[in-house]
Amino acid sequence: MGRMKKLLDQSLRPLVIYAFTVLVISIPVYFLIIDVIWENELDKHHYAIREKLEKRLTHLSLPDTAVDNMIAVLDKIQPGFSFNETTTPRPDSLYTVIRFDSFMNDREQFRCLTTDIRVNHKLYRVLVETNMEEVDETILAIGGVTVFFIMLLLAGFIYLNRKTALRIWQPFYDTLAGLRTFRLESGKAVPLPVSDVTEFTDLNASLDTLMQGSLASYRQQKEFTENASHELQTPLAIVKSRLDMLLQSQSLDAGQMRIVEQVYQAINRVSRINKNLLLLARIEHAQFEEKEQIALDETLAGVAEQFADRFENNALHYTESIEPFRVEANPVLTEILVTNLLVNAVRYTPTGGEVLVHLAGGVLTVSNTGAEALLAKNLFRRFAQASDEHAGSGLGLAIAREICDRYGWQIGYDFAQGMHRFSVRF
Amino acid sequence: MKILIIEDEPGLAESIGAYLTAQDYLCEYAATWAQAREKVELYRYDCILLDLMLPGGDGMDILETLKQQGQQGQQDGVIIISAKGDYETKIRGLHAGADDYLAKPFHLPELAARIYSVIRRRSFANHNQVVQSELKVDLLSKMVTVNGQVVVLTKKELDLLLFFIGNKNRVISKSALAEHLSGDIADMFDNHDFVYAHVKNLKKKLSEAGYGNYLKTIYGTGYKWEG
């Protein structure tokens, strides 16, 4: 399934990537725009200076020598200007140059205008230059500012995402939390939070329908098993009582008596299966809720005593080593669990075999003599016979497992040294 | 002895009635809740067999009515016979005043033995003795004597003896005896041979004490107590 991603992070990631890309692209764009504005502005400024210079010098109406002197002075002292006499007019030129500046004592970038001015019919070639910010410094500044804003954006995104998205999705998380607590066995649908958002209202309504549907079919199934078992009890009772009556008939011979006895056996088996089915249904449907502290050793002793006749009759050697141990569970279920394990052991132990019950350190093991390992896969399944014998109801171990599952006990089976061993870890 | 059979299933009511009538009980029937209610209010019975699921109502209500009557005087004995075999219903029934609880399907001899026991308990609280000629069973001290001579029986043997006496002259199947003797785990097994051993021992002890040889084996699969 891979790593799970949270919905909120999913929506945040593309936003962050997009914002980052836009801001990175903005760096050269900012630079180009700033550069163009700079140069434009400087060029306009240079032309204005040129116009003013030409007009003012002409306006003074000085003699040629005075003009020459003034220009020489300007050339010497006015920063950013240099004048040369020239004879042939040349077109203006605008350019950017980077050179070492002795005054600033550093490499500097300059915007230059080379143009001609005419004063008293004399042509001068003028170079006007202005120091401007260098490319790398500009980019660095823009980059720095951009990075700062990226950070600001990211922090904002994460904060806002956490805050607003969490609030927006809160009903969803509430629904999820509600659904987690839903148990079919409880027989009740969980109440889902009310939301004023259409999607969440729809979601909750659909989930509610789903829960109600599941509960209804669950209830039906439960009632079916219970009702079916109950319905069977009455005809079984009739058959049994009719047999008891038949037995009173004076005309029965030995053969007929034997048949009646065989019918009794079959009827007993049907009622056993029926009883166990009903029991299984009731365990599954979370009846037997009440719990109490049970002395397991006492339960075991009580149950084992009921089996005394069986041990004797089948000539089984019964050995027990039981340490006091307490569990918290339903007393009826605990007794059923112990009984079923013992019934299983007694039923499948050959005459003269051994049955061992051992309880120590919270582990109960019931072992009995056997010929070969059983199919562990089928052992705890309903009606799945794990051996060729068909004496049981096919439900005893399934019930045992169901009881263990309810309390989180571990039931297991293994076969070693000619002994089947069922263990329950409490 | 008057018995009221409150049971909506005619087949079962009929079998029970036939079995008990042969035991010299006088049986009356109620197949619905309303009938049962009427009979219970009008007449007195030594024992009432009460099915809980009745057309028209819950058998527990009948039990409630009986309890109220009981506060004014002698209360009828009640044995619940129900398809609901779960412990909760059982406990609830016994708390509501029932003397016993028998889950369906049951053997008629078992029912007869329980009725016998309920009636005994109620009518002879102080001097509770079962007597058949030379055989005496004191139910309080659990003492059995034959011709005044004490016969020491195990708990199960005594249990068997009372079961037989409660089903006089009836043929009892091994299956019914097994169910009686091993209770809840009886129907877990098909083999009921262990019954032989107990019956054999009981017979031997009583014979040695010289009882009238009332216990008969019928074709090796059933038993009958004559008397």
Residues in A touching B12 (Cβ below 8 Å): 234, 237-238, 241
Assess if residue A179 is contained within a domain: no
Residues in B touching A282 (Cβ below 8 Å): 86
pLDDT at B49 exceeding the cut of 90: yes
| Of B175, B170, B219, B171, nearest in space to B193 by CA | B175
Q: What is the mean pLDDT of residues A112-130?
A: 86
Residues in A touching B9 (Cβ below 8 Å): 234, 237-238
pTM given for the model: 0.67
Q: Per residue in A323-382, pLDDT tens?
A: 899 999 988 889 999 999 998 888 888 888 899 999 988 899 999 988 888 777 778 888
Percent of chain A with pLDDT over 90: 13
HSE toward the beta carbon, residue A189, CA cutoff 13 A: 17
In this structure, whether the domain defined by B129-225 belongs to CATH 3.40.50.300 is answered with: no
Domain termination residue (choose one: A256, A283, A310): A283
Q: Per residue in B198-215, pLDDT tens?
A: 999 999 999 998 888 899
Question: What's the pLDDT at B73?
Answer: 61
Question: What's the pLDDT at A270?
Answer: 87
Domain termination residue (choose one: A245, A264, A283): A283
In terms of phi and psi (left: phi > 0; alpha: psi -120 to 50; beta: otherwise), the region of B61 is alpha
Residue appearing with tokens 């956490």: A162
pLDDT at A120 exceeding the cut of 90: no
Percent of chain A with pLDDT over 70: 96
The structure tokens listed for A391 are 């004496």
pLDDT at A187 exceeding the cut of 80: no
My answer on whether A253 and A323 are in the same domain is no
Q: Do B85 and A261 touch (CB under 8 A)?
A: no
Assess if residue A400 is contained within a domain: yes
Q: CATH assignment of B2-123, given 3.40.1410.10, 3.40.50.970, 3.40.50.720, 3.40.50.2300?
A: 3.40.50.2300
My answer on whether A404 and A381 are in the same domain is yes
For B224, name the nearest residue in chain A, comparing CA atoms only: A248
- Which of B103, B109, B174 has its CB closest to that of A244? B109
SS3 A2: coil
Q: Do A254 and B193 touch (CB under 8 A)?
A: no
For B105, name the nearest residue in chain A, comparing CA atoms only: A237
Residues of chain B with CATH 1.10.10.10: 129-225
CA angle at residue A374 from A370 to A375, to 5 degrees?
180
My answer on whether A409 and A298 are in the same domain is yes
My answer on whether A59 and A95 are in the same domain is yes
Question: What's the pLDDT at A4?
Answer: 65
Residue appearing with tokens 């009892």: B172
My answer on whether A295 and A420 are in the same domain is yes
Assess if residue A189 is contained within a domain: no
> With an 8 Å Cβ cutoff, is B175 touching chain A?
yes
Domain containing A226 equals 198-283
Q: Do A245 and B15 touch (CB under 8 A)?
A: yes
pLDDT at A1 exceeding the cut of 50: no
Q: Do B185 and A245 touch (CB under 8 A)?
A: no
- Which of A241, A268, A269 has its CB closest to that of B16? A241
Q: How far is B150 from chain A (nearest CA, A)?
A: 25
pLDDT at B119 exceeding the cut of 60: yes
- Looking only at the bridges linking them, the beta strands covering B77-82 and B47-50 are parallel
Question: At A69, which CATH number?
Answer: 3.30.450
Q: Per residue in A374-391, pLDDT tens?
A: 777 778 888 776 555 555
Q: Do A234 and B12 touch (CB under 8 A)?
A: yes
Domain termination residue (choose one: A283, A318, A336): A283
pLDDT at B37 exceeding the cut of 50: yes
- Which of B183, B193, B198 has its CB closest to that of A306? B183
Q: Do B188 and A339 touch (CB under 8 A)?
A: yes
Residues in A touching B11 (Cβ below 8 Å): 238, 241-242
Assess if residue A190 is contained within a domain: no
Q: Which of residues 224-243 of A touch B (CB under 8 A)?
A: 230, 233-234, 236-243
Q: Per residue in A8-67, pLDDT tens?
A: 777 788 888 888 898 889 888 988 898 899 889 999 999 998 888 888 888 888 888 888
User: For chain A, how many structural domains are there in total?
Assistant: 3
